[in-house]
Amino acid sequence: MWRVADYQYDLPPEQIAQAPCDRRDGSRLLHLDADRLSDRVFADLARLVPEGAVLVVNDTRVIPARLTARKPSGGAVELLLLEPVDPARPDGPWTALARASKPIRPGLELAIAGGGPTGSPPVMGSRVSGGDRSVGGGATATARVLAAGDGTITVALDRPPLEVAEELGAVPLPPYIERPPDPSDRERYQTVYAAVPGAVAAPTAGLHFTPELFAALEARGVTRAPVTLHVGLGTFAPVRGDSLSEHRMHRERYLIPDTTAALVASGRPVVAVGTTVVRALEAAACGPRQVTPGPGATDLFIGPGFGFQVVDHLVTNFHLPGSTLLVLVCAFAGHPRVLAAYRHAVAAGYRFFSYGDAMLVSRARS
């Protein structure tokens, strides 16, 4: 039985990155090729991926999903928009997390103002970027609570929710980023190729890419291909209990364009940028080197013994101990190899998690 305890490692708190590298592609890159480890910088990626590869990226765009509101009584409420109830109607009702001193009831109308909250703990322990403004100003949008229960609420806004979020919201940062928020997070906690709004967390492996690096990759015949998978908070949900066999993943929506499916089927090496890309491609796999194009949704848990059909190489950040993301990377590249690489990264002073450094790993061959 594979246990969560098998995916633990010791990490000094000072190696948890609190801010991005000065230059996106200036972060460090640990290359794990077979059983060989080499310490690089991310700009070296153009020389490390196979010539002529297909580089698949997740073009989801993080929305400033964290909103501050007040009840008619004046009580403060913090909302975190998660996803539209009906993906085909992004202007319709949304599911959200809510934090307030008293339970939120259906029928309540919440007055939304700009900026993040002051002096109150954030939703789900996340931090907020985009300034530290008070909720005391006049409301510029209204959210009506349609339903409440099971840890979430359903709200209907009087304006398009994505419009409200862009105008009034703030980007939720992970709880392990403990510094005060900075306005630059709104741009740096976003890939340079982000295009489709819908994520509440960044596909962090993509944060290291620059236009210059893409140009260097293109010069070696590497073709960039998008998929869209909107990253939700469930991505970071801890494994409950100690047995991986009992874990149930959240569902995530994805879209694979026809052009990306055709490139995957071309026989060229496939390099996935991030675990979200791996999940989308492998969930859509319909045979070796074949993926079904179009929209889909998946609760696929990639763990020990998973049979990969599509992805050959993976660019990924360093993940939390015991997380489903670390389990995925170990399933892909080999449990002992990955944990040995993590121990090397700790000893070598790499920076970990969302704003940290990255790895390039190849699929373990049985």
What are the structure tokens assigned to 105, written together?
Answer: 């009831």
Given the structure tokens 């070296």, which residue do they identify?
44
d(CA 190, CA 326): 22
- For the chain, the straight-line distance linking the first and the last C-alpha, in angstroms and rounded, comes to 20
CATH architecture, domain defined by 4-59+191-362: 3-Layer(aba) Sandwich (3.40)
What are the structure tokens assigned to 189, written together?
Answer: 């906690």
Name the phi and psi angles at 254, rounded to 5: -145, 165
pLDDT of residue 252: 86
pTM, 2 dp: 0.90
- The helix, strand and coil proportions of the chain, stated in percent and rounded to the nearest 5, come to 25, 30, 45
- The count of other CB atoms within 10 Å of the CB of residue 39 is 15
pLDDT of residue 120: 34
Strand-pair category, 76-84 with 94-100: antiparallel
Q: If you count DSSP H runs as helices and E runs as strands, how many of each does the chain have, helices first?
A: 8, 21
Angle in degrees, CA 71, 76, 77, rounded to 5: 80
Domain 4-59+191-362 shares a fold with domain 67-172: no
Residue 341 burial (10 A CB sphere; 0-12, 13-18, 19+): buried
* Nearest in space to 30 (alpha carbons), one of 283, 351, 292, 355: 351
Helix (H) or strand (E) holding 146: strand 141-149
pLDDT of residue 1: 55
Between helices 275-283 and 324-333, what is the axis angle to 10°? Answer: 70
| Residue 139 to residues 75, 105, 222, 227, 231, Cα–Cα distance (Å) | 14, 20, 49, 37, 29
Q: Where are the beta strands (DSSP E) in 230-331?
A: 252-256, 270-273, 285-287, 290-291, 294-298, 313-317
Helix (H) or strand (E) holding 147: strand 141-149
* Nearest in space to 39 (alpha carbons), one of 49, 48, 29: 29
Helix (H) or strand (E) holding 56: strand 54-58
79 within 8 A of 113, measured Cβ to Cβ: no
d(CA 309, CA 365): 12
Spacing of C-alpha 289 from chain mean position: 25
What are the structure tokens assigned to 187, written together?
Answer: 């741009």
d(CA 241, CA 194): 35
Given the structure tokens 């008619």, which residue do they identify?
72
- Digit-by-digit pLDDT tens for the chain (366 residues) are 578 889 999 999 999 999 999 999 999 999 999 889 999 999 999 999 999 999 999 999 999 999 999 999 999 999 999 999 998 899 999 999 999 998 899 999 999 987 554 333 344 455 545 433 334 445 689 999 999 987 799 999 999 999 999 999 988 888 899 987 788 999 999 999 999 999 999 999 999 999 999 999 999 999 999 999 999 876 655 666 676 666 667 788 899 999 999 999 999 999 999 999 999 999 999 999 999 999 999 989 899 999 999 999 999 999 999 999 999 999 999 999 999 999 999 999 999 999 999 999 999 986
pLDDT of residue 232: 80
**For the chain, what are the domain ranges?**
4-59+191-362, 67-172
Question: In CATH terms, is domain 67-172 a member of 2.40.10?
Answer: yes
Q: What is the DSSP string of 293-311?
A: -EEEEE-----TT---SS-
* Nearest in space to 260 (alpha carbons), one of 235, 285, 231: 285
